[in-house]
């Protein structure tokens, strides 16, 4: 079994991005600038956004954090998005999800100029990805593919089972795994909460990408020997053992699945750190105008 060290790969990629950014800045080019809009004080969102701001510093980017209380009105956010769309210094921006119930996430996503949508959530980017055109690919799926690439994991003709059909992970990663590309060219099955023969599907899988948000869902009895397991789950559960008062738990029962796997990602330290660097990559691409 080989552990996929997302933390180490993310460190390498961040160093590559930082080196390229330093070169751009030294030759008088524009400093990449990412803005993040954070609504409310959800613990998970606070952590993710602070990691994104820190990653910007490490890459040599400028960053701007715009905060609102939970009571913010939808029109206020839409006004801010309009301003960010028109601000030439901002190369890309994200609105951290989830948003409070009185705000339409879809309306917010669609208000973002797709050329600045470094999250890759806008329907234009999703659609372009689906037909293999240059676009911003959302960070978690992009991070997963980068891990497969850097660990030289064969995907051609393999049976890849994706657990979960979210717009952020399940759907896009399934699309990417079946595209004519490397990594890609896999035969993909998408399973979800209404799937009937989930265990049988998993037992046939060469690669399992678990993105259900159900702690410990994937067990040893559900996988075949030498399976590749990518665990996207990041459920926070209370813990008296950590400073933060919680710990992250994946969708895979790591201790029992790992001995059967050829490759497996841990939680934390697997897919999570890759998500952040993929966002940095998209921001650099946006700044260089390489996509649009």
Catalytic machinery residues = 52, 96, 119
For residue 87, the minimal CB distance to ligand GUN (Å) is 18
Q: Number of residues interacting with ligand GUN: please give it, by CB under 6 A.
A: 7
Find the shortest distance in angstroms from Cβ 88 to ligand GUN: 22
32 or 92: CB nearest ligand GUN = 92
d(CA 122, CA 107): 10
Q: For residues 95 and 252, which CB has a smaller minimum distance to ligand GUN in the complex?
A: 95
Which is closer to ligand GUN, CB of 17 or CB of 168?
168
Task: Please list every residue from 101 through 120 that binds ligand GUN, using CB under 6 A.
Answer: 119
65 binds ligand GUN (CB under 6 A): no
Query: What's the min distance (Å) between Cβ of 99 and ligand GUN?
Result: 9
Q: 139-150 vs 170-178: helix axis angle to the nearest 10?
A: 40
Closest to ligand GUN by CB, 163 vs 168, is 168
Distance, CA of 110 to CA of 121 (rounded, Å): 8
Q: Are strands 2-3 and 187-191 parallel, antiparallel or unpaired?
A: unpaired
Question: Which are the contacts of 159, defined by CB distance < 8 A and separation ≥ 6?
Answer: 186, 187, 189, 204, 205, 206, 207
Nearest to 232, CA basis, from 214, 209, 255, 261: 209
Residue choice 56, 112, 135, 139 for contact with ligand GUN (CB under 6 A): 139
Residue 141 near residue 173 (C-beta atoms within 8 A): yes
| Structure token pair of residue 156 | 């051609």
| Closest residue to ligand GUN in the complex (CB) | 97
Q: Cβ atoms within 10 A of the Cβ of 238, count?
A: 8
> At CA 8, angle to CA 153 and CA 267, rounded to 5?
80
In this complex, which beta carbon is closest to ligand GUN, that of residue 94 or of residue 137? 94
Check: CB of residue 38 under 8 Å from CB of residue 96.
yes
Binding to ligand GUN in span 75-104, by CB under 6 A: 94-97
The CB-of-94 to ligand GUN minimum distance in angstroms stands at 4
**Tally of CA atoms within 13 A in the half-sphere of 255 that contains its CB:** 1
Q: How far apart are CA 288 and CA 247, in angstroms?
A: 37
**Rounded to the nearest whole angstrom, what is the least distance from the CB of residue 169 to ligand GUN in the complex?**
9
List interacting residues with ligand GUN (CB under 6 A).
Answer: 94-97, 119, 139, 168
């Amino acid at each position: 079994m080989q552990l996929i060290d997302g933390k180490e790969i993310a460190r390498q990629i961040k160093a590559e991005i930082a080196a390229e950014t330093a070169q751009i800045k030294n030759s008088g080019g524009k400093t990449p600038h990412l803005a993040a809009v954070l609504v409310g004080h959800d613990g998970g969102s606070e952590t993710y956004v602070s990691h994104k701001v820190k990653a910007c510093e490490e890459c040599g980017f400028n960053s701007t954090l715009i905060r609102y209380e939970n009571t913010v009105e939808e029109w206020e956010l839409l006004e801010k998005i309009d301003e960010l769309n028109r601000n030439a210094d901002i190369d890309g921006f994200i609105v951290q999800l989830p948003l409070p119930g009185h705000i339409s996430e879809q309306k917010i996503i669609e208000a973002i100029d797709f050329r600045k949508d470094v999250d890759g959530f806008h329907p234009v980017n999703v659609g372009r990805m689906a037909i293999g055109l240059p676009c911003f690919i959302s960070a978690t799926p992009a991070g997963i593919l980068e891990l497969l690439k850097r660990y030289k994991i064969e995907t051609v003709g393999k049976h890849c089972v994706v657990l979960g059909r979210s717009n952020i992970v399940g759907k896009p990663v399934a699309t990417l795994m079946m595209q004519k590309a490397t990594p890609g060219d896999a035969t993909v099955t998408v399973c979800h909460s209404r799937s009937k023969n989930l265990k049988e599907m998993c037992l046939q899988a060469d690669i399992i990408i678990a993105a259900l948000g159900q702690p410990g869902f994937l067990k040893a009895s559900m996988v075949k020997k030498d399976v590749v397991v990518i665990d996207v789950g990041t459920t926070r559960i209370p813990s008296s053992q950590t400073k933060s008062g919680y710990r992250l738990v994946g969708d895979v029962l790591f201790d029992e699945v790992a001995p059967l796997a050829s490759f497996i990602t841990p939680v934390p330290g697997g897919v999570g750190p890759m998500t952040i660097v993929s966002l940095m990559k998209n921001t650099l691409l946006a700044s260089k105008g390489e996509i649009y």
